[in-house]
Amino acid sequence: MMAEAMVSTLDLAARAEATPWARHHVRDVLSAWQVADEQIDITELAVCELVSNAVRHVAADTPEARVTLTLRHDNTQLIAEVADPDNRPPLVPAQASDEAESGRGLLILEAISKEWDYYLLPAGGKVVWCTIALR
């Protein structure tokens, strides 16, 4: 019989301080789930990129916007999802110039995760997610 997935959800205001809150949440939850430190570090980085991107793209348009972080663990992988109210898909990863202060988030996500993608929500908004393999 397959073990049921563990799930944790955190609702955040779409503001700059959402990223450190998300990072602390990941560390606390994954530690409680007894995930290895290396996978916690990777997941923290992935979640920081997902939350930062969501906040950057929705906060300016909708000051009262919220983003929701969901973590799922099924003993073989971790899935991190960030939902936001923006219907625009994430920008396709591209090479950022050496001087650019942003534009590398999805490239980082692509490099550290097993896979990532997004889907639109029926009621509006989207979820960007990634999978982190467990050892």
pLDDT, one tens digit per residue, over 52-67 is 999 988 866 677 899 9
For residue 73, give the nearest of 3, 4, 6 by alpha carbon. Answer: 6
**Which domain, by its residues, includes 118?**
6-91+103-133
Residue 97 within any structural domain of the chain = no
Residue 98 forms part of a structural domain: no
Check residues 64 and 130 and name the one with the higher pLDDT.
130
Q: Is the pLDDT of residue 96 over 70?
A: no
| Confidence bin at 100 (pLDDT 50/70/90) | very low
Share of the chain above pLDDT 90, in %: 64
Contacts of 110 (CB under 8 A, 6+ apart): 93, 116
- Enter the pTM of the model: 0.87
For 34, left (φ over 0), alpha (ψ -120 to 50), or beta? left
Q: Per 3-state DSSP, what percentage of the chain is helix, strand, and coil (rounded to 5)?
A: 35, 30, 40
Cα–Cα distance list, 39 to 14, 20, 67, 79 (Å): 26, 18, 23, 12
Average pLDDT over residues 103-131: 89
Tally of domains in the chain: 1
